[in-house]
Amino acid sequence: MRTTLRDALSKILLPGLLTVGIFTFFYLGGDAYQTFGLAAVDSTRKVLKYVLGVAAFLSLAVLAQRVIRYVIFDGIVASATGTPVPKLLSQISGLIIYIVALSACAGIVFDQDLTVLWAASGVAGLVLGMALRELLQDVFAGIALNIDRAVRIGEYVQLHKAGDSSISGQLLEISWRTTRIKDFSGDVVIIPNSKFSAITITNFSQPEAVSYRSAIVTLDTRVPPTRAIRILQAAALEALTGLIGNDGAPPQPWVEVKSIKPEGAEYAIYFKAEWRFLASARPLILQAALSHLAQAGLEPAVPRQNTDTEMGLQVPGKERLAQLIGEAPLLRGLSARDLTLLSEGARLTVEQPDRVIAQAGEAGTVLFLLLEGLLSAEASRRNGARQSLSPMLRPGDLFDPSVVLLGEAHACTVRARTPALLCELDYDVINRLFRTNPEAFDVVGRNLAALVPAKSTSLGWEETGEGEDWADEVRRQMRHLFPGLALPSRREDAAVIPVSRKAH
């Protein structure tokens, strides 16, 4: 306080002495003029009168402006509010003082009619106001911000605006036209006052200087909750203490069980700190949690995939899987040995709701057999793509054979509607089947010709898609994708396996 008072006195000392000296000179009057030998020179006396008069009012204005700024604003007001007074208020008060001083010079020193002066300035102000409309909006917005005091210099704020990313940082200054914010990257963001006043602002420094946040850690459900809470709370307190350091003891964090999910129990670590520490607090807490868990012989839980039971979906055994594969219309008629080969090479996956399994327009090398759950198929809207699959795929449906066996692109986007258990047969498994048993190639080709009409493919086949001609064309196209097969000669009396025309 003493340093502030000393600085204020040093700021006002020189203007005060100058003002006292000029008015003393006026008080001495003619004696002073005669001392300087100016009584005989009327013109010089008149000029000196004007100079001394203007100097008197300007020195008084400087003195008043510095008293208001350094004594009242920086001293009394800043001490009472605990925050520095925005520069804009000091600048506005100084502007008003100098306008009054110039008006006094015109009316008293130069004997001008102030009515005419103010009328002329009013017209000029109207013209300037129309020309500098946006600038004036920023000025008045800055005045409103300083009067409202919703945000103060030094506070941490976050700006929200539709369509733009949020800006977070410390408020540095509200000037005549702009507001300056220092973000957490160390950059200064400059925003016009009119825009700043129209933005939704979150003030993290009011009503308290601390804010609440949380960090999530997932642990196995077999870990006792009391033990998990004890370990995580100690980790959070250690991280906050190291972060805040000498700025005081951090508030005690607390831990609660937030939710229970298939992968484990979620623990929420709640903590509060000043906004300047929040950006670093969460990663430090998670890092400390990993260290404390490792020390206790624990580790965070991870999602379980391809387990025997996942979200209530029962994974079948090899024999049951071979049976389900053989029931698919495309693979109906294959021998037990062929089905065993496919089941051993199959891959079982669990897909979550809304997960895209096949994207329209993309190539594919995997046949998908839906074992449990529901899938949806939506044809691409580009170029009038065909709806080759049923809008709703149910257990037992296999898709998309024309993609893997004929080289077509996916005509539909397939996504999971519910948790779904899928059996995946990739190109390598199918190729191994055809090389192991060439007769399987003929069986699958005939089934594919019966399932996929010629007009639904891009092979350019002009027939109706019925009979042996279409089946031969399908097998010919399949040979391009599975070259080098030792295929048997086609028998005229080969039996055709009856299949339904349900789209798969």
CATH no. for residue 334? 2.60.120.10
Place of tokens 């090389």: 435
What is the three-state SS of 349-411?
Answer: EEECCCCEEECCCCCCCEEEEEEECCEEEEECCHHHCCCCCCCEECCCCEECHHHHHHCCCCC
Residues 244 and 337 in one domain: no
Question: Is 430's pLDDT higher than 60?
Answer: yes
Dist. CA 378–CA 455, nearest whole Å: 19
Give the separation between CA 428 and CA 33, rounded to whole angstroms.
114
From the CB of residue 167, how many other CB atoms can be counted at a distance below 10 Å? 17
Any idea of the CA torsion for 332, 335, 341, 343, to the nearest 10 degrees? 40
For the cut 90, the answer to whether the pLDDT of residue 389 exceeds it is no
Mean pLDDT for the stretch of residues 86-113: 73
317 shares a domain with 406: yes
498 belongs to a structural domain? no
CATH number at residue 161: 2.30.30.60
Asked whether residue 480 carries a pLDDT value surpassing 50, the answer given is yes
Residue 243 lies in a domain: yes
Residue 457 has pLDDT above 50, yes or no: yes
Question: How much is the average pLDDT of 455-474?
Answer: 59
CA pair distance 11, 193, nearest whole angstrom = 30
Contacts of residue 164, defined as CB under 8 A and 6 or more positions apart, other chains included, come to none
Look up residue 414 and give its DSSP letter. E
Of 98, 131, 164, the residue at which a domain comes to its end is 131
Which domain range does residue 371 map to?
310-481
**Domain presence at residue 143:** no
Q: Which two tokens stand for residue 94?
A: 């100084």
Same domain, 282 and 316: no
The number of angstroms, rounded, from the C-alpha of 406 to the middle of its chain's C-alpha atoms is 43
Instruction: Looking at the structure, tell me whether residues 191 and 72 fall in a common domain.
Output: no
Q: Which own/partner contact pairs does 105-109 have at CB distance under 8 Å and 24+ positions apart? A: 105/53, 105/54, 105/57, 105/58, 108/53, 108/57, 109/49, 109/50, 109/53, 109/54, 109/57
The answer to whether residues 353 and 416 touch, using CB atoms and an 8 Å cutoff, is: yes
State how far the Cα of 414 lies from the Cα of 195, in Å rounded to an integer: 45
- At 57 the pLDDT is 77
Region 374-391: what's the mean pLDDT? 70
Do residues 474 and 450 lie in contact, with contact meaning Cβ atoms separated by under 8 Å? no
In this structure, what token pair is assigned to residue 31?
């004696």
Q: Token pair of 348, please? A: 């079982």
Cα–Cα distances (Å) from 328 to 191, 286, 436, in that order, read 64, 49, 20
Q: Give pLDDT tens digits for 203-233.
A: 877 777 777 788 999 999 889 998 898 889 8
Indicate whether 315 pLDDT > 70.
Answer: no
pLDDT digits (tens, 9 = 90+) for 114-162: 676 666 666 666 666 555 666 667 666 766 776 667 788 888 888 886 6
Give the pairing type, strands 412-416 and 356-358: antiparallel
pLDDT at residue 130, as a whole number: 59
Q: Are residues 353 and 278 in the same domain?
A: no
The whole-number average pLDDT for the span 386-398 is: 78
Question: How does DSSP classify residue 253?
Answer: P
Is residue 239 domain-shared with residue 381, that is, in the same domain?
A: no
Asked, for residue 488, whether it belongs to a domain, the answer is no
- Residues contacting residue 384 through CB under 8 Å, at least 6 positions apart: none
392 shares its domain with 363? yes
Are residues 371 and 447 both part of a single domain? yes
H/E stretch holding 252 reads none
pLDDT at 156: 83
pLDDT 10s digits, 24-67: 665 555 454 445 444 444 555 666 667 777 777 777 878 887 88
Res 218: pLDDT: 92
In a domain? residue 142: no
Cα angle at 475 between 456 and 359, to 5 degrees?
45
Question: Would you place residue 237 in the very low, low, confident or very high pLDDT band (cuts 50, 70, 90)?
Answer: confident
3-state SS of 192-232? EHHHHHHCEEEECCCCCCEEEEEEEEEECCCCCHHHHHHHH
Q: Is 140 a member of any domain?
A: no
| Domain tally, the chain | 4
Q: Do residues 384 and 326 both lie within one domain?
A: yes
Query: Is 70 exceeded by the pLDDT of residue 163?
Result: no
Q: Which structure tokens are listed for 145? A: 């911000």
In the predicted structure, residue 70 carries a pLDDT above the cut 70: yes
Q: Are residues 279 and 401 in the same domain?
A: no
- Least confident range from 61-75, 85-99, 153-167, 375-389: namely 375-389
Q: Is the pLDDT reported for residue 500 higher than 60?
A: no
Specify whether 420 is located in the same domain as 449.
yes
Residue 89 resides in a domain: yes
Predicted pLDDT of residue 266:
92
What percent of the residues of the chain are helix, what percent strand, and what percent coil, each to the nearest 5? Answer: 50, 20, 30
Is 183 found in the same domain as 60? no
| Residue 129 confidence (pLDDT) | 58
Residue 252 domain-assigned (yes or no): yes
